[in-house]
Amino acid sequence: MGRRRIIQWATGTVGRHAVAAVAAHPDLELVGAYVYSETKVGRDIGEICGIDDTGVVATNSIDDILALDADCVLYMAQGEMDPFGAVDNICRLLASGKNVVSTAVTALIYPQSLGTGVVDRLAAACAEGGTSFHATGIEPGWAAEVVPLTMSGLCRKVDSILVQELLDYGEYDSPSMLFDIMGFGKRPLDQVPMSDPAVAGSSFRASLMLLVDGLGATIDDFTFDRQVAVTEEAFEVKAGSIGAGTVSAQRFSCTAVVDGRPALTVEHITRLRDDQAPDWPSGRGWKVIVEGTPSLVLEAQIATGGEDENDQACLGTAMHAVHAIEPVCAAAPGIRTFLDLPTIIGKHVLSSSEN
């Protein structure tokens, strides 16, 4: 079998990591790249992403992308603020005969979370193109799905599962995400998209629905929670200034109620400095707590060598998508979640060459 032909869609932090990985992968060949910024159009995708030139020139023409002969598109746009626009693009790509692996919209990890209309559209596009669709990530996209499902294989009984993401976003260089969407640097009562607990926790619904499907149960209801902490002193982060009395840490979650009890919870605890909200759990990565028979706790730390944990998490997100390319291309046409695919493994990661 020849190398899989890959198109990269979007070159943000996750996309740049994906481009570098695809360019170095012995089984993959980069053949196209879609970008949003006019300043990137016409440039080699390697130059844009900080690696050697690849011979692939970036375009902002969807028609040009659709016309390319490719096996798979790594769809890595920032789709959370326009999920249905992302679905439109993904469906066009699938119908054109290209498999799609996406990190753009966390709800697509389990498309049923967006309703039967989205499921029907994706399924029809896959049928038209003879293609498969898979959405992935790191959290959601690994810690809240793959890890607890794997742990459940050791259990006779599970009373509850709690998944926590614990990260410091002080080095996360995205002012729009931190300030305008999440509400860091704002007064606690200022209205931003994530000031509503249901909005803040809604992206976890897909993970919980996938878990419950995999574990053979039924969700009665969802509950949501959001808490914030404020800083007593002003300080600087990579994305900008955090004023005294503004939000410097937040904790938000979604819980699935099963058989009348809060059975499954996904929670993010996010700080802009490690001394903020000192009474909340802390760490650098993810923690999965299973109360049951047996009881289990599994912790996954990231950036253990002192690297930037946000950049390392973006790298992990990109690699979970890149490693999914082959099983998605090999799968039967249709929507393929973690419940449908084999275990995603890091093929070639032991190679002595940089990848």
Per-residue pLDDT reduced to its tens digit, 110-143: 999 999 999 999 999 999 999 999 999 999 999 9
CA 24, 27, 31, 32 dihedral sign is negative
Residue 221 CB neighbours (<10 A)? 10
pLDDT over threshold 70, residue 90: yes
For residue 140, the model assigns a pLDDT of: 94
How many CA atoms does the CB half-sphere of 188 hold within 13 Å?
11
Q: 81 pLDDT band (50/70/90 cuts)?
A: confident
- Per-residue confidence (pLDDT) for residue 199, from 0 to 100: 85
**CA 34 from centre of chain:** 19
pLDDT tens figures, 182-236: 999 999 999 998 899 988 888 899 999 999 999 999 999 999 999 999 999 999 9
Provide mean pLDDT across the span 312-340.
97
Q: DSSP per residue over 106-149, as a string?
A: GGGGSGGGG-HHHHHHHHHHHHHHT-EEEE--STTTTTTTHHHH
Q: Which residues, 6+ apart, have CB-to-CB distance to 355 below 8 Å?
A: 21, 24, 25, 348, 349
What pLDDT is recorded for position 202?
A: 84
Cα–chain center distance at 256: 20
Range in 55-64, 126-135, 195-204, 333-342 the model is least confident about: 195-204
The pLDDT of residue 355 is 47
Strand duo 72-75 + 99-102: pairing? parallel
Mean pLDDT, residues 168-185: 91
Q: What is the pTM of this model?
A: 0.94
| pLDDT tier for residue 353 given thresholds of 50, 70 and 90 | low
How far apart are the C-alpha atoms of 151 and 296, rounded to whole Å?
8
CA distance 329 to 220: 35
The whole-number pLDDT of residue 20 equals 98
Average pLDDT, integer, range 22-31: 97
Tell me what pLDDT residue 1 has. 62
Residue 262 above 60 pLDDT? Answer: yes
Over pLDDT 70: what percentage of the chain?
99
Provide the pLDDT confidence category of residue 105 given band limits of 50, 70 and 90: very high
Distance, in Å, from the CA atom of 64 to the CA atom of 55, rounded to the nearest integer, reads: 16
> What is the DSSP annotation of 169-182?
-TT---HIIIIIIS
Tokens of 50: 């900080």
Q: Strands of 285-293's sheet, edge to edge?
A: 221-230, 247-258, 261-271, 157-168, 285-293, 296-301
What's the mean per-residue pLDDT of the chain? 95
Q: CA–CA separation, 133 vs 328, rounded Å?
A: 7
Q: 228 CB contacts (<8 Å, ≥6 apart)?
A: 183, 188, 247, 249, 250, 251
